[in-house]
Structure 1
Amino acid sequence: MTRLSGVTPSGHAHLGNYLGAIRRWAREGGPGDLYFVSDLHGMTISYNPSRLRKLARESLAVLLAAGIDQERVFVQSDLVREVGALTWLLECTCSYGEAARMTQFKQKAEGQGMVRLGLLTYPVLMAADILLQNATEVPVGQDQTQHVELARSLARRFNSTYGEVFTVPRAVMAPTAARLMDLSDPTRKMSKSTQDNAGVVFVLDDPDLVRRKITRAVTDTEDRLEYRPSSQPGLANLLEILAACVGRSPAEVADDFSGYGELKTAVADAVIEELRPLRTRALELIDDQHTLDKIREAGAERARERGAHTLTAALRMAGVG
C-alpha cells in the first residue's frame, strides 16, 4: 500500500500544519507512505518565483526535521517533465465540464481579476501526482475528496480506453486533528497565506516571538476557564493547542488553570518545547545547502524511478511513446 500526501509551499509552515499533519506523518507514517512538496500547485495564483523557490526548500527541510524518512520525500517540480507529460495525457482524458465543476475552482476563482488556466486544470495535475507514484490511498480532508474522485475517474477512463496502466487510488479521510484558529482572531483558521501574521505561530519563529504571539492571543471577558468552543473560541483555541502538545484533552488541561495569564504561559512553554528540535534541525538543513540538495536530488531520483514504468506505458498506450 502506498499513501501519498503533499504540502503546498504557499507560505511558511505554521503550528496548525505541524500538529495537524506533519507531526502525524512522522509519527504514524507507514513504510510505503510518500510525502512531497507540491510547489507546482503554488503557481495557480499570483506568486513570487524566488519566494516560491525559497519556501519549497524550507518546506522540505521542515518535513525532514520533523522526522520523516528522507527516502519518503521529494519535491514535485524536480519531476516537472514527468508530471507535465502525464498531466497532458490526463488533460486529454478529462472533460472541461469535469474540471469546471470542481468546488475549489469555483471558490478560488470567485472575485479574482484574472483566473489562471492552471487553477482550472490543477485537479488534473493533482491526479498526475497521484497516478505517477502509483498511490493506492490519498489521505485528504473533505475539501479534497472531489479531486481524488477525479483522479479515480481519469484512471479508469484511460485504462478502459487505451489499456490497463494506472492504479486506481481511493481517498481516505485523514485522522481528525485540532483545527487551530488564528490567535488574534479565533473566528478564522490559522493560515499560511494570511496578510496579518500576528496570530499565526510559524514553526520556524524565534521562541521569543512565539511567546509574544501567544501572550497577546485574544481570549474573552468571561470569568470562566472552561473548554467551551462555541461561547469562548479564543480560550478553546489555546486549550486545544496545549492539549495537542501534551497529549491530553482540552477539557482536561482546562482544569489545571485558574487564570488566563497562567494558561498562556503554559501554552507558550509547551509550544516552544514542542517546536524546539524541529526548528533547530530545520534551520541546520536550510543553512547546509549541500546536504539538503543531496537529499532532494536522491528523493527526485527515487520518485522518477517509481513512476518511470507507469509514464512509459501510458505514453505508449496513448500513441505518443
Structure 2
Amino acid sequence: MLCSRSTRAVALARRYSNVSSTPSTIQELDRYDNLPQNSRVFSMIQPTGRIHLGNYLGAVKSWRTLSNSNPTSRFIFGIADLHAFTSFKPASELKENRYQAIASLLASGLDTSKCILYFQSAVPEHSELSWFLTCMTSMGQLNRMTQWKSKAQQSQTSSITDEKVMESTKAGVFCYPALQAADILLYRSTHVPVGDDQSQHLELCRNLAKLFNNTYGVDYFPLPKTLLTPAKKILSLKNPEKKMSKSDPVQASCVYVTDSPEQIQSKIRKATTDSIQGDWSFDPVERPGVSNLINIISGLTNESIEETVASVQHLKDHKGLKDYVSELIINEFSDKRQLYDELLKNKDYLDHVCKEGRDSAREVASKNLGEIKSIVGMD
C-alpha cells in the first residue's frame, strides 16, 4: 500500500501528464510519414540527475508525444544506468541520479499506463544479449564509432590500435555500442527516437540485426527505423558551439526542469547572442546564440523554424527575445518543477514505479531472450 504522500504524487502525476501533453507531432518525428500501428518504440536516457532543457526537447517531450498519440503501439523507455557505469561515480551519487532521472521523466508527463519505464540494470537480459552481440561485433566496427573517442577524450582520428589510446580507454567505453544494440534488439524494437548524434550507433544496431538474421537463417530481429526528434540539438547558453550538458563547468550554460523562474530568467538573460541589429534570422554559423534561442522557441511551441522566425519579428531587441524565451521556459516547467519536488520526496512511490516497470520489461525481455538462445543453440 502506498503512503498518503504516494497517493498525492500519483494524483499529481496523472493530473500533470494530462495537462502538459503536447499536440501530436508524429509527422515531424517519423521520417516514414507515420508511425505504423503495433510498432515497438524503444529509447533510453542516461541517469545524469535532473534533466535539462536539451534532454527535454531532444528526447523526453517526443517520448511523451509518441506514447500519448499511438494507443496500438508499445513504448519502452528506460534509464540507461549500465551505460552510466562506463564513467565512475560514487555509489551514493549514482543512486541519487537514478532517482532524479525517474522523477524528471514522470514530472515531464510520461504516463506509465501508456509506456514501460524502468532501470536498465534491473533487467539482466540486457547484459546477456549484449555478450552475444559483442561476440559478433568486429573491433573495426567499434573503432569506427565516434562517440567512444569523445568519451575517452581522444581525437576523432584516434584508433584503438594505438598503444597509448588502448591503455587509456576503458573496455566498457569502447564496447558500449554493442550493449546499446542489445538494448534495442532485446525488445525487437521497430523504431528508436534518437538525435542525430546517435544515428551512427543505430546503423551499427541494424547491421548486427542483419548479421544475426543471416548467420542463423532467421528473420527474427526487425531492422529498427530512426525517429528523428523534431527539435534540433539544444546548445550551451554560454558557448553555442557545443551542446547543452550537465557536465559543463559553467552552470549558467544549462537550464534544468527544476530551475526556479528567477534562475531561468538569470541564465537566459546572460545567454551569449550577438550585436547584430534588425530582423531576426536563423543562421547557426553567423548567429549561433540567437539561432539557439530560436531553436528553443521552436521546440517549446511546436512550430517550424520558419514559423518561429516569423513569429519573433515583433521583438525589437535582444532583451525582448530573451524575455520571451524565459517566459516560455518558465510556463513549460512550472507544473513540472512542483511535481518533481513532490516525487523526489517520495522514494517509496518511485520504487513502486520502477518495480512495475521492471516486471513489465522483463516479461518481454525474458521471452525474447529465450527465443534468441534457442536460435543460437543455448536453450
Q: Give your verdict on TM over 0.5.
A: yes
Q: Distance in 1 between matches of 2:148 and 2:352?
A: 36
What is aligned with 1:98? 141
Q: Which residue of the other structure, out of 277, 283, 304, is the alignment partner of 1:223?
A: 277
SS state of the match for residue 169, structure 1? coil
SS state of the match for residue 48, structure 2? coil
Q: Which residue of the other structure, out of 290, 306, 319, is the alignment partner of 1:235?
A: 290
Please report how far the alpha carbon of residue 271 of structure 1 lies from its aligned counterpart in structure 2 after TM superposition.
Answer: 0.7
SS state of the match for residue 136, structure 2? coil
Could you tell me whether the CA contact under 8 Å between 2:41 and 2:192 is conserved in 1?
A: yes
Q: Distance in 2 between matches of 1:83 and 1:185?
A: 37
CA deviation profile, 1:202-245 (whole Å, cap 9, x unmatched) = 11112211111111122222333512423332223223323433
What is aligned with 1:294? 352
Please report how far the alpha carbon of residue 162 of structure 1 lies from its aligned counterpart in structure 2 after TM superposition.
Answer: 4.3
Q: Which residue of the other structure, out of 167, 174, 177, is the alignment partner of 1:123?
A: 177
Could you tell me whether the CA contact under 8 Å between 2:81 and 2:120 is conserved in 1?
A: yes
Q: Letter of the aligned partner of 1:172 in structure 2?
A: T
Please report how far the alpha carbon of residue 18 of structure 1 lies from its aligned counterpart in structure 2 after TM superposition.
Answer: 0.9
The number of equivalent residue pairs is 320
Could you tell me whether the CA contact under 8 Å between 2:47 and 2:98 is conserved in 1?
A: yes
Q: Which residue of the other structure, out of 122, 125, 129, is the alignment partner of 1:78?
A: 122
CA deviation profile, 1:64-120 (whole Å, cap 9, x unmatched) = 2222221421111111x2211111122222233322222323443316772110112
Please report how far the alpha carbon of residue 198 of structure 1 lies from its aligned counterpart in structure 2 after TM superposition.
Answer: 1.1
Which stretches in structure 2 are left out of the alignment for 5+ residues?
1-38, 156-164
Please report how far the alpha carbon of residue 136 of structure 1 lies from its aligned counterpart in structure 2 after TM superposition.
Answer: 1.5
2:190 is equivalent to residue 136 of structure 1: yes
SS state of the match for residue 241, structure 2? coil
User: What's the TM-score, normalizing by structure 1?
Assistant: 0.90
Q: Distance in 2 between matches of 1:57 and 1:65?
A: 12
Could you tell me whether the CA contact under 8 Å between 1:142 and 1:173 is conserved in 2?
A: no
Could you tell me whether the CA contact under 8 Å between 1:16 and 1:190 is conserved in 2?
A: yes
- Seen in structure 2, the aligned counterparts of structure 1 residues 121 and 260 have a Cα distance that, compared at 3 Å, is same
Worse overlay, 308-317 or 199-208: 308-317
CA deviation profile, 1:247-293 (whole Å, cap 9, x unmatched) = 44331232221122233222212111111112222221111111111
- Seen in structure 2, the aligned counterparts of structure 1 residues 105 and 181 have a Cα distance that, compared at 3 Å, is closer
Q: Which residue of the other structure, out of 125, 129, 132, is the alignment partner of 1:89?
A: 132
Q: Which residue of the other structure, out of 5, 14, 38, is the alignment partner of 2:80?
A: 38
SS state of the match for residue 36, structure 1? strand
- Seen in structure 2, the aligned counterparts of structure 1 residues 234 and 107 have a Cα distance that, compared at 3 Å, is closer
Q: Distance in 2 between matches of 1:197 and 1:153?
A: 39
Q: Which residue of the other structure, out of 103, 107, 110, is the alignment partner of 1:61?
A: 103
Could you tell me whether the CA contact under 8 Å between 1:132 and 1:310 is conserved in 2?
A: yes
Q: Letter of the aligned partner of 1:277 in structure 2?
A: D
Please report how far the alpha carbon of residue 14 of structure 1 lies from its aligned counterpart in structure 2 after TM superposition.
Answer: 1.0
Please report how far the alpha carbon of residue 173 of structure 1 lies from its aligned counterpart in structure 2 after TM superposition.
Answer: 4.0
Could you tell me whether the CA contact under 8 Å between 1:37 and 1:56 is conserved in 2?
A: yes
Q: Distance in 2 between matches of 1:219 and 1:297?
A: 45
- Seen in structure 2, the aligned counterparts of structure 1 residues 292 and 186 have a Cα distance that, compared at 3 Å, is same
Which stretches in structure 1 are left out of the alignment for 5+ residues?
none
Q: Which residue of the other structure, out of 204, 210, 217, is the alignment partner of 1:150?
A: 204
User: What's the TM-score, normalizing by structure 2?
Assistant: 0.77
CA deviation profile, 1:174-219 (whole Å, cap 9, x unmatched) = 1331332211222222123212211110111122111111111222
Q: Distance in 2 between matches of 1:183 and 1:103?
A: 25
Q: Letter of the aligned partner of 2:255 in structure 1?
A: V
What is aligned with 2:341? 283
2:94 is equivalent to residue 52 of structure 1: yes
Please report how far the alpha carbon of residue 53 of structure 1 lies from its aligned counterpart in structure 2 after TM superposition.
Answer: 2.1
Please report how far the alpha carbon of residue 63 of structure 1 lies from its aligned counterpart in structure 2 after TM superposition.
Answer: 1.6
Worse overlay, 42-51 or 263-272: 42-51
Please report how far the alpha carbon of residue 294 of structure 1 lies from its aligned counterpart in structure 2 after TM superposition.
Answer: 0.5
Please report how far the alpha carbon of residue 304 of structure 1 lies from its aligned counterpart in structure 2 after TM superposition.
Answer: 0.2
Q: How does 1:180-195 map to 2 (within 5 A)?
A: 180-195=234-249
SS state of the match for residue 185, structure 1? coil
SS state of the match for residue 222, structure 1? coil
Moved over 4 A (4+): none
Could you tell me whether the CA contact under 8 Å between 1:242 and 1:253 is conserved in 2?
A: no
Q: Distance in 1 between matches of 2:205 and 2:301?
A: 38
- Seen in structure 2, the aligned counterparts of structure 1 residues 93 and 237 have a Cα distance that, compared at 3 Å, is closer
